[in-house]
């Protein structure tokens, strides 16, 4: 029973952190489409894919991705959760 409670708390924290990243992505680029995946792969705890609009410049897209990466690093250091986040071209 105690193990189930711990797993439940970890999943709640993962959900909270994925939501934080999603909200940050939408704040930085409201027109972006954001996809979240919680399927674990190797050492990943979750994944966030951001699809910015095509009119963003390369510099704007890099700035978006850099800010999201910094947030993921902050989360890793704070919680130990390894969340990958990247910007992708729509295609």
Total of domains in the chain: 1
- Check residue 16 and give its pLDDT: 96
Calculate the average pLDDT of the chain.
90
Give per-residue pLDDT as tens, 36-75. 998 888 889 999 999 999 999 999 999 999 999 999 999 9
Band of residue 10 on the pLDDT scale cut at 50, 70, 90: confident
Write down the pLDDT at residue 39.
Answer: 82
* CATH value at residue 30: 3.30.300
Position 1 scores a pLDDT of 53
pLDDT score recorded for residue 59: 93
- Domain residue limits at 12: 2-87
Write b or e for each residue in 1-38: b if 16 or more Cβ atoms lie within 10 A of its Cβ, otherwise e. eeeeeeeeeeeebbeebbeebbebbeebbeebebebee
Radius of gyration of the chain (CA): 14
């Amino acid at each position: 029973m105690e193990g189930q409670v711990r797993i439940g708390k970890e999943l709640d924290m993962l959900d909270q952190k994925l939501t934080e990243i999603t909200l940050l992505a939408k704040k930085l680029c409201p027109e972006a489409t954001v996809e979240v995946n919680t399927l674990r792969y190797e050492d990943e705890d979750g994944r966030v894919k951001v699809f910015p609009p095509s009119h963003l410049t390369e510099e704007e897209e890099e700035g978006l991705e850099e800010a999201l990466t910094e947030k993921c690093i902050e989360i890793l250091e704070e919680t130990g959760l390894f969340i990958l986040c990247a910007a992708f071209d729509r295609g």
